[in-house]
Amino acid sequence: MGMGASIFMLAIGAILALAVDWQVKGVNLDIVGLIMMAVGIIGICAYVSIFKRRRLQAPPPAAPVVEEEHHRYYD
């Protein structure tokens, strides 16, 4: 579930839990809204966690040290 779907679930859940006063037989819309809000928050947390791991990059490897031998010849 991406960031957009998580935000959508959170918004629809908030609407069902807080703004709707419909009565549906056998379904408590307040609980459904709270569950959708929880799923949306969990989805956002999971997405941010995975996105954060993807952005971490290992530092580039250090350039190898090349040691040159200097030979001095004296006459």
> What does the domain layout of the chain look like in residue ranges?
3-55
Reported pTM: 0.65
**18-75 residue pLDDT tens:** 998 888 899 999 999 999 999 999 999 998 888 776 666 666 777 777 777 766 666 5
- Whether the predicted pLDDT of 7 surpasses 90: yes
36-43 contact pairs (CB < 8 A, 24+): 36/9, 36/10, 36/12, 37/9, 37/10, 37/13, 38/13, 39/6, 39/9, 39/13, 40/6, 40/7, 40/8, 40/9, 40/10, 40/11, 40/13, 41/6, 41/10, 43/1, 43/5, 43/6, 43/9
Which of the pair, 33 or 2, is modelled with greater confidence? 33
Residue 12: what pLDDT?
94
Residue 71: what pLDDT?
67
